[in-house]
């Protein structure tokens, strides 16, 4: 798309201003961006702001001078009728806002957009939130069959998550790459939630103290004064240097102007310093290679990410004995478990950042308190419980978000012994959850003879009705959540205080 380069479209302004803002406020924010010089707008049916965007454009007579991207989900395509009437023309690019449940369904949705584009509803086709290069290649090949090639891809991208492979594919195939989420997200607006995803996606690079230090060293003259660069400007500058068109947003008039001019920054030394911070971590001179402890080494090597290693270093400085013991608990061969531990550390950092906390100080302080309690507690049972609950916390599903506000309470709950894990993985956690203390990693096979115990906390159902343990009857068949962990079906052989049962095939 030579048009982007020819028109100098190096940065987009996002119109996801929040569904709760009054229309007049949305119009003011978009108008402010247009007045600053933005001529590339990122719009979507989901944002609910398009009428205000159109009003701001018409107010300034910029309808025909602005490149409009309009995103629509696969399930929303049928709702496009009449949407563009307030604009008075078609958008320049129609983009699929997300992938459908399967690639085949995505191709169908993309075909519907292609039909609309051939009919004059836009000039270009785009895709957003593409997961893999293989998926993108399949969709690009399908688009060629629709005679409407993919011209633009918009994905989440930041120094913490650089989307390298898809960016490379776009560069090699002449596809414009737009990045959202460059500055992180405070989990507000139409597109942001606390859903399932890599914890690195939810970090806020604008709050990275390493980046803050670089920004402070870079001074700009603004009218009659010198001012330091902001972390946001450095991120936009970094994106521009990578050949990325970032989607920026601000409600502050001065910040909007600074953001748009960030691509003009010339600071090669600063750029190189950023690349050192966010590129593949070097293997020499770091804890991962200096340590003689195999589990600690394995903990670092489970996630070869420079930011992850930096955060691990910060925690090891204040809680080395505890973190070492936790890594040893998982074992040096448990790469998946160790990586999950690192990701949970990152997710906790993201939670602190989303709450506007002095997150690095709080991270150090919480783990320092953990470590102190672990080392000095004289009560053996309390010490074991603290250790096991720390392990539960760092072994929960790191990909699952949610509970950002409540996340601040977890460290105190662990130290007080009150933390109740959602999916317990240790005996301590299962007891805290009211489940059996026995770990049952897989269901007992059909034919197994079992002696049932009340303190195993199994749940028994006969049809749709729950049955108390004391009421289990001989020769009856029950569906069982065995030890609260595995679903099986049993036939009771003998009743009493310790019934015996045989595992059978579930009945039709």
Domains and CATH numbers, the chain: 2-203+235-251 (3.20.20.100), 287-425 (no CATH), 449-504 (no CATH)
pLDDT-derived band at 285, boundaries 50, 70, 90: low
pLDDT at 1: 66
Residue range 478-498, pLDDT digits in tens: 988 888 778 899 999 999 989
Residue range 309-351, pLDDT digits in tens: 999 999 999 999 999 999 999 888 788 889 999 999 999 999 9
Any idea which residue has 């973190």 for tokens?
323
Residue range 437-457, pLDDT digits in tens: 777 878 899 999 999 998 887
Kindly report which listed range (154-158, 219-223, 359-363, 446-450) carries the lowest average pLDDT score: 219-223
Is 427 buried (19+), middle (13-18) or exposed (0-12) by CB count in 10 A? Answer: middle
Rounded mean pLDDT of the chain? 89
Q: How far apart are CA 454 and CA 468, in angstroms?
A: 10
Assess contact for 182 and 240: CB atoms under 8 A.
no
What are 269-278's contacts with CB under 8 Å, separation 24+? 270/214, 270/217, 270/218, 270/234, 270/237, 271/237, 271/238, 271/241, 273/214, 274/159, 274/211, 274/214, 274/234, 274/238, 277/159, 277/210, 277/211, 277/306, 277/307, 278/159, 278/160, 278/162, 278/306, 278/307
pTM above 0.85, yes or no: no
pLDDT at 398: 86
Residue range 461-480, pLDDT digits in tens: 887 667 889 889 999 999 88
Q: How far apart are CA 216 and CA 210, in angstroms?
A: 10
* Comparison of pLDDT for 132 and 285, the residue scoring more: 132
Any idea which residue has 């100098």 for tokens?
8
Assess contact for 233 and 215: CB atoms under 8 A.
yes
Assess contact for 244 and 11: CB atoms under 8 A.
no
Rg (CA), the chain: 28
pLDDT at 485: 75
Any idea which residue has 């020819």 for tokens?
6
Q: How far apart are CA 110 and CA 247, in angstroms?
A: 23
Taking residues 66-95, report their average pLDDT. 96
């Amino acid at each position: 798309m030579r048009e982007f380069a020819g028109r100098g479209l190096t940065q987009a302004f996002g119109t996801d201003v929040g569904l709760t803002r009054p229309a007049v406020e949305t119009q003011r924010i978009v108008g402010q961006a247009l007045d600053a010089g933005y001529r590339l707008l990122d719009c979507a049916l989901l944002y609910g702001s398009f009428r205000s965007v159109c009003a701001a454009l018409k107010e300034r007579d910029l309808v025909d001078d602005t490149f409009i991207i309009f995103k629509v989900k696969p399930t929303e395509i049928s709702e496009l009728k009449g949407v563009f009437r307030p604009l008075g023309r078609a958008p320049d690019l129609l983009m699929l806002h997300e992938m459908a449940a399967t690639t085949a369904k995505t191709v169908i949705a993309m075909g519907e957009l292609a039909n609309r584009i051939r009919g004059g509803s836009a000039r270009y086709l785009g895709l957003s939130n593409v997961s893999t290069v293989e998926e993108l290649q399949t969709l690009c090949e399908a688009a060629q069959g629709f005679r409407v090639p993919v011209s633009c891809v918009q994905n989440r991208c930041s120094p913490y998550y650089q989307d390298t492979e898809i960016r490379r594919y776009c560069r090699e195939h002449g596809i414009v790459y737009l990045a959202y989420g460059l500055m992180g997200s405070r989990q507000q607006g139409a597109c942001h939630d606390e859903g399932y995803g890599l914890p690195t996606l939810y970090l806020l690079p604008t709050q990275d103290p390493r980046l803050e230090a670089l920004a402070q060293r870079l001074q700009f003259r603004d009218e009659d004064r010198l001012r330091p660069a902001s972390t946001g400007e450095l991120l936009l500058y970094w994106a521009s240097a990578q050949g990325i068109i970032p989607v920026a947003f601000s409600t502050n008039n001065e910040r909007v102007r600074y953001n748009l001019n960030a691509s003009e920054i010339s600071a090669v030394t600063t750029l190189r310093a950023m690349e050192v911070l966010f590129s593949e971590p070097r293997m020499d001179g770091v804890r991962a290679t200096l340590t003689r402890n195999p589990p600690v080494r394995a903990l670092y090597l489970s996630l070869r990410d420079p930011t992850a290693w930096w955060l691990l270093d910060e925690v090891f400085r204040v809680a080395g004995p505890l973190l070492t013991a936790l890594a040893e608990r998982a074992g040096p061969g448990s790469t998946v478990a160790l990586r999950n531990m690192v990701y949970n550390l990152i997710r906790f950092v993201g939670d602190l950042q989303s709450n506007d906390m002095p997150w690095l100080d709080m991270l150090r302080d919480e783990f320092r308190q953990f470590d102190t309690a672990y080392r000095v507690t004289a009560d053996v049972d309390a010490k074991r419980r603290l250790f096991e609950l720390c392990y539960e916390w760092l072994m929960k599903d790191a990909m699952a978000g949610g509970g950002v506000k409540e996340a601040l309470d977890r460290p105190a709950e662990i130290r007080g012994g009150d933390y109740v894990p959602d999916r317990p993985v240790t005996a301590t956690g299962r007891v805290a959850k009211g489940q059996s203390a026995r770990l049952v990693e897989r269901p007992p096979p059909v034919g197994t003879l079992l002696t049932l115990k009340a303190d195993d906390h199994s749940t028994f159902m006969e049809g749709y009705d729950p049955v108390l343990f004391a009421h289990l009857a001989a020769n009856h068949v029950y569906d069982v959540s065995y030890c609260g962990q595995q679903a099986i079906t049993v036939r009771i052989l003998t009743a009493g205080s310790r019934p015996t049962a045989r595992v059978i095939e579930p009945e039709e």
